[in-house]
Homo-oligomer: A and B are copies of this chain.
Amino acid sequence: MQLPKGVEWAAHCLVVLERLGESHPVPTSTLAEVYGLSPTYLNKHLQALSRHGLLISTPGSTGGFSLSRPAAEITLADVVEALDGDRTLFRCTEIRCDGLFQDRSAEIRASGACRIAAAMWQAEQAWRESLATVSINDLAGGIDALSGQNLNEFVGNKNRKAGQDI
């Protein structure tokens, strides 16, 4: 079981958008160049972030993506949910009510959740809670000064070419 590859791409792009400040929306093609990613795949992931309310998508020739809210209010739990959904990792098909136990299935269900399922889901909650403690703001602090400067120059040049600073 592995998380979709897009989680790494999406988290990094959110950090880039935080680092660039709120001045202009950044097009997918620019974000893709920053990390040498496929623009087509990256766009799918950015659309998913947008559908989940983490990004705002501005259409048009000077359009692109920007953060929908302060980076301190976007966490890794939001990113995982946007890219992977909110289904539980563990699925319970209630086998405890099958086979030998079929006749007593109503009684067994009434006795509460299966202990196995409950323990599996409690562990998942610990995972999601840990992800929810880390914001894009926290992560952006990990970009060193020189990388931040490279990033700003690169995106600034791109935007100038696109006529955004007129």
The contact string, 1 if C-beta is below 8 Å from chain B, for chain A 4-15, is 110111011001
- Measured between C-beta atoms, what is the minimum distance from A106 to chain B in Å? 14
Contact at A100–B33, with CB atoms within 8 Å?
Answer: yes
Given contacts A126-B129, A147-B101, contact A1 B116 (CB under 8 A): no
Q: Is A166 part of the binding interface, using a Cβ–Cβ cutoff of 8 Å? A: no
Give the number of times this chain occurs in the complex, counting copies: 2
Number of interface residues of A (CB under 8 A): 61
Contact at B130–A122, with CB atoms within 8 Å?
Answer: yes
Q: Which candidate, A21-29, A49-57, A59-67, A82-90, is the interface stretch facing chain B?
A: A82-90
Q: Is A150 part of the binding interface, using a Cβ–Cβ cutoff of 8 Å? A: yes
The contact string, 1 if C-beta is below 8 Å from chain B, for chain A 92-133, is 110110111110100010010011110110111011111100
Contact at A89–B144, with CB atoms within 8 Å?
Answer: no
User: Could you list some 26 contacts between A and B, CB below 8 A?
Assistant: A1-B2, A1-B3, A1-B4, A1-B89, A2-B90, A3-B120, A5-B93, A8-B90, A8-B91, A12-B116, A35-B96, A35-B99, A35-B100, A36-B95, A36-B102, A76-B119, A100-B154, A108-B144, A108-B147, A114-B142, A116-B139, A119-B131, A122-B130, A123-B127, A126-B127, A126-B129
